Amino acid sequence: MQESVLALENISKTFPGVKALQGVQLTLRAGEVHALLGENGAGKSTLVKVMTGAMRKDEGTGRMCFDGKDRDFTSPSEAQKAGISTVYQEVNLLPNLSVAQNLFLGHEPKRFALIQHSRMQQQARELLKQFKLDIDVTAPLNQFSVAVQQLIAIARGVAMKAKVLVLDEPTASLDKDEVETLFGVMEQLKSEGVAIVFISHFLDQVYRISDRITVLRNGQFIGEYITAELPRPKLIEAMLGKELQAMHGQHQPGCADSVDAPALFKMDKVCVKNSIENMDILVPKGQAIGMAGLLGSGRTEVCRAIFGVDSVASGQMQLADAPLKPQSPAEAIKAGVALCPEDRKTDGIIGPLSIRENIALALQARLGWWRYLSKAKQQALADKYIEELQIATPDAEKPIGQLSGGNQQKVILARWLATQPQLLVLDEPTRGIDIGAHAEILNLIKRLCHDGMSLLVTSSELEELVAFANKVVVLRDRRKVSELSGEDMTPQHIMQAIAEA
Ligand SMILES: Nc1ncnc2c1ncn2[C@@H]1O[C@H](COP(=O)(O)OP(=O)(O)OP(=O)(O)O)[C@@H](O)[C@H]1O
Ligand SMILES: [Mg+2]
């Protein structure tokens, strides 16, 4: 058997009220991509944090052997120095510093203790070339999209020349080409003997890139498998502890198929400066309209215009027969619109507040602060959604920052559902959530339509889009290029519409 670079044995980590890890093991070999899989809250990120010194394991349990020696890192920088480079799920870069500074923070090229800026910039450009990024490395990081920032975080991890590279959901905000580029870089590192830990909820990607798979469930080690020998249904069974068949609803448009349902929301020739052009979108009452298009096609811009984030330069919007002209999200919320944003890390989560407070937030804004929601009412609301969306937490008082990534996503969704909007806009609602919760979200969308809510939903997962949408609009270059419904609404047709030049 090939030597392992890193072996974790019997690792446990307890938080108040939660056993996040219970006797977990993980073995990494040089030159392999090892996928670490499991549902939201299974313990993946916690294992990564314990392994890399960002968190301490429970006193007196387990051991870790790295590079032939027993180790127990007390900080990420110690792990880093030893040769473990990590890109955490929560991208922790410094938004106001330049791209180059972010890439080399803490290990800047120096001469006589002085940072050599031009050399650093040159190295930064070369590093980013691997990722096919040709950007101004002196510009502040926050000028770039989430996807670019994600790639920069990964490039930073790669630049460290480590023996082990850990990537916790690196592809969550990347498009197809960016994923391919990343995989190219991973293959290269692999051939140089680097061991890579890859965490993802995209099983296609797992099968594409990984050699072996370790599955966790409820903080426990379930098994280690060779990817090529593990059929997908078996993998899902290992992750969920039950068969998928039982969970998936019928794959057909779930909402009442009344084609002539009255329009609830209308966007009529809407233009936004430097953004969308002549956009027409119609969402009937009780229906879900899907929005497809590549990153940068205008999907997010449409959502922002509806929610009053960007102001409409010309054209009109209507909601329930009244003009909709929100000048701010607060006005949009009052009018009965809700937007669950794509990037929950920057747009949604208030880490130190409890789940209860995070859920109550938008409803409180809708009611106005003089109609204060009592703690009991907030509690009831939180309990309702914890139950309905199966948010994994011991109670509603836990700070949201302590939930797993996917469960945070569900809390944000609950926040917007609680406002009982007439129009609910969901920007990539299933990103970062596990395959079990995917099915739950799809069923939820159908249920909401059935109860009379109207939804506009963007998703890059075309299979998913056609499973719940009554109609799909396709955007390209910030314009609408196609509308598909009925038998024409297939992933293939959508792809064609997206791709046609
Ligand atoms: N700092 C913390 N304090 C308290 N509980 C925590 C903390 N961090 C994680 N947990 C809990 O530990 C469990 C495992 O969380 P973890 O983040 O490791 O899950 P995950 O497998 O990475 O999930 P996801 O796919 O959603 O990212 C969860 O129940 C979570 O609520
Ligand atoms: Mg995680």
Task: Please tell me whether residues 126 and 87 are part of one structural domain.
Answer: yes
Indicate which atom in ligand 1 lies nearest the CA of residue 39: 25
CA of 438 to the centre of ligand 1 (A): 18
Q: Distance (Å, rounded) from C-alpha 457 to C-alpha 441?
A: 12
- Which-ligand-closest: CA of 407? 1
Domain boundaries, position 467: 247-336+422-501
Task: Please tell me whether residues 400 and 427 are part of one structural domain.
Answer: no
Q: Give the ranges where 14-98 is alpha helix by DSSP (H).
A: 44-51, 76-82
> Could you read off the pLDDT of 75-116 as tens digits, one per residue?
988 998 899 999 888 767 888 899 999 998 877 777 777 777
Tally of structural domains, the chain: 3
- Backbone angles phi and psi of 7, in degrees to 5: -130, 125
Helix (H, G, I), strand (E, B) or coil at 486: helix
Task: Please tell me whether residues 255 and 217 are part of one structural domain.
Answer: no
How does DSSP classify residue 354?
B
Instruction: Say if residues 345 and 90 touch (Cβ distance below 8 Å).
Output: yes
Pocket of ligand 1, beta carbon within 6 A: 15, 18, 20, 38, 40-46, 89, 392, 402-407, 434
Q: Which two tokens stand for residue 476?
A: 């390209």
Mean pLDDT of the 443-463 span = 90
Q: Which two tokens stand for residue 127?
A: 């590093």
Task: Please tell me whether residues 263 and 321 are part of one structural domain.
Answer: yes
Task: Please tell me whether residues 438 and 292 are part of one structural domain.
Answer: yes
Indicate which atom in ligand 1 lies nearest the CA of residue 404: 17
Among 360, 393, 420, which residue terminates a domain? 420
> Could you read off the pLDDT of 458-476 as tens digits, one per residue?
988 888 899 899 999 999 8
Q: Which of 40, 403, 408 to mutate to test the pocket of ligand 1 (most atoms within 8 A of CB)?
A: 403
Task: Please tell me whether residues 152 and 209 are part of one structural domain.
Answer: yes
Residue reference for tokens 């939804």:
455
Q: Which two tokens stand for residue 42?
A: 């299974």
Among 396, 420, 444, which residue terminates a domain? 420
CA of 89 to the centre of ligand 2 (A): 6
User: Which CATH number goes with the domain that contains 492?
Assistant: 3.40.50.300
Q: Distance (Å, rounded) from C-alpha 456 to C-alpha 405?
A: 23
CA of 262 to the centre of ligand 2 (A): 42
Task: Please tell me whether residues 322 and 221 are part of one structural domain.
Answer: no
**Is 80 exceeded by the pLDDT of residue 346?**
no
Indicate which atom in ligand 1 lies nearest the CA of residue 46: 18
pLDDT-derived band at 428, boundaries 50, 70, 90: confident
Task: Please tell me whether residues 118 and 28 are part of one structural domain.
Answer: yes
Neighbours of 374 (CB within 10 A): 8
Among 368, 391, 420, which residue terminates a domain? 420
Q: Distance (Å, rounded) from C-alpha 362 to C-alpha 55?
A: 32
- Output the pLDDT for position 255: 43
Task: Please tell me whether residues 352 and 483 are part of one structural domain.
Answer: no
Instruction: Say if residues 315 and 357 touch (Cβ distance below 8 Å).
Output: no
CA of 18 to the centre of ligand 1 (A): 9
Task: Please tell me whether residues 318 and 446 are part of one structural domain.
Answer: yes
Task: Please tell me whether residues 22 and 123 are part of one structural domain.
Answer: yes
Cβ neighbours for 240, distance < 8 A, ≥ 6 positions apart? 39, 217, 247, 435, 436
Task: Please tell me whether residues 30 and 161 are part of one structural domain.
Answer: yes
DSSP states of 267-292: EEEEEETTS--SEEEEEETT-EEEEE
CA of 23 to the centre of ligand 2 (A): 18
Q: Distance (Å, rounded) from C-alpha 490 to C-alpha 493?
A: 5
Indicate which atom in ligand 1 lies nearest the CA of residue 43: 18
